Chains A and B, each alone.
Chain A
Amino acid sequence: MFSFMIESNHIPSTDFIMTEIAILEKIKKIVTPYVQRKEGLEDFNDSTDFLVDLKINSANLVDVILDVEDEFNIEIDTTSMDGMLTAGDAKRIILNKMDN
């Protein structure tokens, strides 16, 4: 009984983690065509910086944003764009917009 309760308590958070992983994978897929530094993709995680680690230029970063909008059916404003420096930033913005 006790272990069942722990398990059931864990289900929502496991789902949440799965969602985050899935979103991160989608972001990786979206940015891949624009990446100039391919090594940056090998360890793609929340702290991966689009400009520093992946060497995406500012024009292609706009394409990333537009592709993210299409993929997740959300609209990203200028303020959100300015705060989107890493894959983790992008993931949080996507999760936030999807909740609304």
Chain B
Amino acid sequence: MNYNSIISSLPYTKPFLFVDEILQLDPEGCIGFYTFPIDSYFYQGHFKNNPVTPGVILTECMAQIGVVCFGSYLLQENKQDASSFNDIQIALSSSQVDFFIPVYPGEQVKVVSKKQYFRFNKLKCTVEMFNEEGELVCRGAIAGMMKI
């Protein structure tokens, strides 16, 4: 399994791709990294003269690594025919996230996702984000509908 092929097959691009690297993928979970570039567009407005990564962006990063990359892997594992892989259909269905500490421009975060269930095209995961010091940034449950 080539993890880079999963990232390149994602239906996102800059400035809304929040996955740099996938470290680990298995049937029960996924670990990935992203570094928030200092010049990211949202720092211009969030907040005035005080750049902090917005919670919705942290949630998006958790969803892209913890649900979409992970779900792509699970779908690919279940399907032999890789040719249709680019036709993946995804939709966020729910997110519930608690935030603990802020993420500043230039910080790298690690996202750790664990599967709750993947049934009837719905993938629901418990997802945690850590900073470079290993401190818990945020944690929650994110679910999406996914199929090829």
Contact = CB atoms under 8 A, between A and B. Distances in A.
- Contact-residue bracket for chain B: 10 to 19
Given A58-B145, A59-B143, A59-B145, A81 B120 contact: yes
Given A59-B122, A59-B143, A66 B93 contact: no
Contacts, number: 20
B117 A59 contact: no
**Chain A residues touching B, majority SS:** helix
A74 interface: no
- Contact-residue bracket for chain A: 10 to 19
A65 B120 contact: yes
B119 interface: yes
Interface in A48-96: 57-62, 65-66, 78, 81
B78 interface: no
Contacts of B91: 59
A70 to B, nearest CB: 12
8 contacts: A57-B93, A59-B93, A59-B143, A59-B145, A61-B120, A62-B122, A65-B120, A81-B120
Interface of B: 91, 93-94, 117, 119-122, 143, 145
